[in-house]
Structure 1
């Protein structure tokens, strides 16, 4: 039996209404949980790139990619292991302002974790952290002991280490 691992799926599509529902239904029908999803413009004009994080077997991943590519608006879909990509995640921590002044170690934590203060006011301050999943989780666990008022994490963004022929394909699509 194949082992489940983390895959990052990159989908290049036309930006059409309803496509997200159809793509997410492909995962849902196979009882695959989407860990995170991000949508943005791509390097080619008028083409959207989705980055989806899932934990599945390679056999499941191949089947999902096949189904995704059957969608008319999908130009191309790829999947990668963590070793094949460069990725980042971002998050925001909202905390009570008195902690910033009464617990000086907070400022050291921000610096030591390569995070940054986004805003500070009399009631709260916000820390932003970008990095690998493990880095964000470590900072989260550390700050949790001080009391986090709000926390949000953005979906993974990624680029492949290897050259992808999608740019050539997409330039033909745009011609």
Structure 2
């Protein structure tokens, strides 16, 4: 079996130390996390982890089962790149004079859909989103024109073939016992709870 990129999506309760417990599961198995993003999900109080790793499917399957054993984890999915819609974000800081003097740089930024975030006399910061290959290519090109600073954000992804976790969570909540208090029959009659 050949290694390939997998995007692992984990839905968890919003609790302190969760990121540490999840990353420990990866480090114990000597699996490198290439990208990690955590954010609120579409469900209030539920957080979503998006983790990118390169591994064989059998290892990823076992890893997701291990992650789901954590008390606060509601569900862990894994998908190949073909099964998700994904993007990475990047910020580039370039000298402003390069943009104003070099027409090619301006065209390049437009070609990659980069938009200005901050424009100063000494530098301009651009942002763009795309696949890693696109971001790498733009970074490589801007390096030729005195790229001052570059940072890439973690992968964000949405599973293509899914009704979404929100629907599954709503179904789960519907099946859960209600919060209405149902008094014990013995207590209603004033009997001792311990008598049969």
Q: TM-score range by the shorter chain?
A: over 0.9
Decide whether aligned partners of structure 1 residues 132 and 70 sit closer, same or farther in structure 2, where only a CA change above 3 A counts.
Answer: same
1:6-85 equivalences under 5 Å are 6-85=5-84
> How far does the alpha carbon of each residue in 1:84-106 deviate from its partner, in whole angstroms, 9 at most, with x for none?
01011100001112211222211
SS of equivalent to 1:162: coil
TM-score (norm 2): 0.84
**8 Å contact kept, 1:8–1:53:** yes
**8 Å contact kept, 1:44–1:171:** no
SS of equivalent to 2:168: helix
Larger radius of gyration, structure 1 or 2?
Answer: 2
Report the counterpart of residue 126 of structure 1 in structure 2: 125
> How far does the alpha carbon of each residue in 1:137-168 deviate from its partner, in whole angstroms, 9 at most, with x for none?
11111111112211111111111110246223
SS of equivalent to 2:19: helix
Report the counterpart of residue 114 of structure 2 in structure 1: 115
- Alpha-carbon distance, 1:173 to partner: 5.1
Q: Specify every segment of 5 or more residues in structure 2 that has no aligned partner in the other structure, as ranges.
A: 175-196
Report the counterpart of residue 139 of structure 2 in structure 1: 140
4+ residue segments displaced more than 3 Å: 172-175
Decide whether aligned partners of structure 1 residues 164 and 78 sit closer, same or farther in structure 2, where only a CA change above 3 A counts.
Answer: farther
Distance (Å, rounded) in 1 between the aligned partners of 2:3 and 2:135: 22
TM-score (norm 1): 0.94
**8 Å contact kept, 1:91–1:136:** yes
Higher relative contact order (CA 8 A, sep 6+): 1
> How far does the alpha carbon of each residue in 1:43-97 deviate from its partner, in whole angstroms, 9 at most, with x for none?
1111111101111111110111011000000000000000001011100001112
Question: Which has the larger displacement, 101-110 or 79-88?
Answer: 101-110
Count of residues in correspondence between the two structures: 174
Distance (Å, rounded) in 2 between the aligned partners of 1:64 and 1:23: 10
**8 Å contact kept, 1:45–1:174:** no
SS of equivalent to 1:63: helix
